[in-house]
Amino acid sequence: MQYIRYMNTPIGILSIIEEENQIIKININQENEKREIVEKEIVEKETPVLKEAERQFNEYFNGTRKNFELPIKVHGTEFMKEVWNALLKIPYAETKTYGEIAKEINHPKAARAVGMANHRNALPIIIPCHRVIGVNERLVGYALGLQIKQWLLDFEKKNINK
């Protein structure tokens, strides 16, 4: 059984999906409307894990939380998991390029594949793919849109000393 919780944030309505006491997906609806739950196995419910996730997201959007401490479950290839683990090590308010991440995981020629792994990240913000940028600090490729990516980067820089 999967459970979902919605919360208002400065970037839109965040939906947090839990399965077996682990966060498995984060969605952002930028139109500030709840999306209808189509899959019948997802139930809107307050669970301890979802309540804690909401608390931590509120702290993040208040500028006081720099890292998330939530039980998560990711689905992807071993390469994707390597990328996502590398993203978790990028400090708050800092950025790395796709090429830097590729080198860190010992696949120096795989910058494009790193970009694809970022695009398939089901846990944006928790796994901070918004902190990965292109060469020359260009904003490229963010599944939630470049406007949200820029907002998150600016927000973190503004709140680094909170």
Residues recognised as catalytic: 129
Distance CA 55, CA 79 (A): 31
Distance separating alpha carbons of residues 47 and 132, to the nearest angstrom: 32
Q: In 10 A of CB 12, how many CB atoms?
A: 17
Distances 90 to 51, 58, 61, 83 between C-alpha atoms, Å: 26, 21, 18, 11
Among all chains, which residue has been given the structure tokens 């820029």? Answer: 150
- What is the rounded CA–CA span in Å between residue 154 and residue 162? 14
Instruction: Give the span between the Cα atoms of 106 and 79, in whole angstroms.
Output: 10
